Amino acid sequence: MFKDVVGTDIEVRNDAANNDKQIDAAFESQISVLFRVKKNFEAIHKFADATICQLRYGERFLGCEIDYGTQFFLKDVEDLQGELQHAKESGASDAILESISNNILYTKYRDDDKSITRANIITDLDPLPNRTLEEATELFKSGGIDKRNFIIKSNLINFVRRFERENINIIDFGSNINYAKKIDNINESLKQYADEYIGQPSGVQEGI
C-alpha cells in the first residue's frame, strides 16, 4: 500500500553502487504516482475554477484548462547532497554523479532560469565538476590533474568574477556564437589567469 501511494525510493539506501537504470526506475516509480495524483488535483482545480467563472461571467466564460506540468522535485537539496556523497562513496560512475549534481542544481534554482543558466556555464568551465575541492586536491597530489587545471578548479568563482569584470557577465558573453565556442573562449581567459597565478611568488598563492 505504501509503495502504491508514494512509489519506491531505493536509490539512496542501497549500499551497492547504483547504475543509471536503477536510478531511472526508482524515479519513474515515484513520478508515475505523482502523475496519477496530479491528474486528480487538476480535475478538482478545473471544476472549482470553472464553477466560479461560470457563476461570475455566465455565458462569457468559454472554458479553462489546468495543467500542473510534468516536472516534479522529489527531494530537497539536502537529500540530494547526501545522495551525491553516498554515490561517490559507493564508487558510482561519473554519469550518475552528473545526474545527481544536475538534480541538485535544478532543485536549488527551480524558479530561477538565469541562475540555472549561470550555474550550468560555471559547471562546464569546471575541470572537475563532480569533485569537491578536497577531492581535487587529492587528485592533484597524486598527479591526476595538472597544476593549471587545479588552480582553475580551486579559484573558479574568483576567476569567473574577474572575467566578468573585464568583459561582461558569462550569460551574455558570446551570445552571438555557438555555446562550445563561448566556453572555449572563456576557458582561454581562465587559463591565462591560472598562468598568472602560477607566476606569483609562493607566499602570495593560496590554496596550493
Cell representation of residue 108: 536549488
Under 8 Å CB-to-CB from 77, ≥6 apart: which residues?
104, 107, 108
pTM of the model: 0.56
Predicted pLDDT of residue 206: 46
SS (H, E, C) 47-107: HHHHHHHHHHHHHHCCCCCCCCCCCCCCCCHHHHHHHHHHHHHCCCCHHHHHHHHHHHHHH
Predicted pLDDT of residue 83: 75
Cell representation of residue 114: 538565469
Predicted pLDDT of residue 184: 96
Q: What is the pLDDT along the chain (208 residues), one digit of tens a residue?
A: 445 544 454 444 444 445 555 555 555 566 677 677 778 888 888 899 889 998 988 888 888 888 766 555 556 667 777 877 777 777 777 777 777 777 777 777 677 788 888 988 999 999 998 888 888 999 999 999 999 999 999 999 999 999 999 999 999 999 899 999 999 999 999 999 999 988 865 444 444 4
Predicted pLDDT of residue 114: 87
Residue of 130, 132, 169, 139 whose CA lies nearest to 154: 132
Predicted pLDDT of residue 37: 77
Domain boundaries, the chain: 113-201
User: 107 with 75: CB under 8 angstroms?
Assistant: yes
Predicted pLDDT of residue 142: 92
